[in-house]
Amino acid sequence: MENNINMNYKDLMSILFISIVVGIPILFFILNSRIHVIVTADIDNKNTEIRVSLRYFFNLINITKTVYPISKPKEEKKNKKNKESKSKSKKVKLQMIQLENLLALYRIVRKVQVSEVYSNLSYGSENINFTSFIYVLINILYGNVSNYFDSEKMYLKVTPCYTQNFIKYKGVLHIRPTMKDIVVLIKGVYKIYIDIKIYKKVKYNEECEVDEIGKFNKEYNGYNS
């Protein structure tokens, strides 16, 4: 009996040891493996489409999702006007989002490896001054992009036209964050989301208290009259 218990104990310890020896390298590999995130934007005058592609583990996982335009159910479209009036009273002040959280997210994004930045803009307007202003503005923006992103591939182009009114744009952003970066980024975004939710709840309670006080004052004044 004791021999069987000793054997079972040794077997469990062996399994635990093997699991640790094998599991730690696998976990380390997963956390440091990179996922390809490709954001593609296409604009042709009024037609706009933005797609996000996720590729992982030698493209065995390949997901493409159109994030814009978003198809909404009919019921949501009917209730859109009612929701807009409510959302106006619950706007979130940027000051309530902790600056340290935004700085932490900024530091994480700066560490993400950028593989490709592609931007090709063609636009036109019969207003010469406006077209020239946009051309200068885009070149300033491109200069900041080239300084900000340390990309392996970068293509930035803008072509103005002074005789036609149109806009065409093709943009690609290819980044390769590690799974560890994604986990940390999700935690940071979730923390900001919680801060916003708490702020909305506090503000909603304050508005309810003000409404209740207003109703009480009206009833009291009406009774005395």
- The radius of gyration of the chain from alpha carbons, rounded to an integer in Å, stands at 28
Banded pLDDT at 92 (limits 50, 70, 90): very low
Q: Where are the domains of the chain?
A: 1-32, 34-83+114-176, 91-112+177-215
The pLDDT of residue 3 is 54
More confident residue, 93 or 117: 117
pLDDT tens, residue by residue, 183-198? 777 777 777 777 767 7
CA distance 139 to 156: 9
Cβ of 117: how many Cβ atoms within 10 Å? 22
Q: Which of 40-49, 134-143, 147-156 has the lowest mean pLDDT?
A: 147-156
The pLDDT of residue 119 is 95
Q: Is the pLDDT of residue 112 over 90?
A: no
Strand partners, 34: 178
pLDDT tens, residue by residue, 19-40? 787 778 777 777 778 888 899 9
The pLDDT of residue 28 is 75
Banded pLDDT at 225 (limits 50, 70, 90): very low
More confident residue, 202 or 91: 202
Q: What is the DSSP letter of 127?
A: -
Indicate the pTM of the whole model.
0.62
Q: Is the pLDDT of residue 121 over 90?
A: yes
Copy the structure tokens of residue 213: 């006080």
Q: Is the pLDDT of residue 200 over 70?
A: no
Most confident of 5-14, 109-118, 179-188: 109-118
Banded pLDDT at 159 (limits 50, 70, 90): very high
Average pLDDT, the chain: 76
* Non-local CB neighbours of 123 within 8 Å, separated by 6+ positions: 131, 134, 158, 159, 160, 161, 166, 167, 168, 169
* Non-local CB neighbours of 146 within 8 Å, separated by 6+ positions: 154, 156
More confident residue, 43 or 194: 43
Q: Which of 50-64, 142-156, 189-203 has the lowest mean pLDDT?
A: 189-203
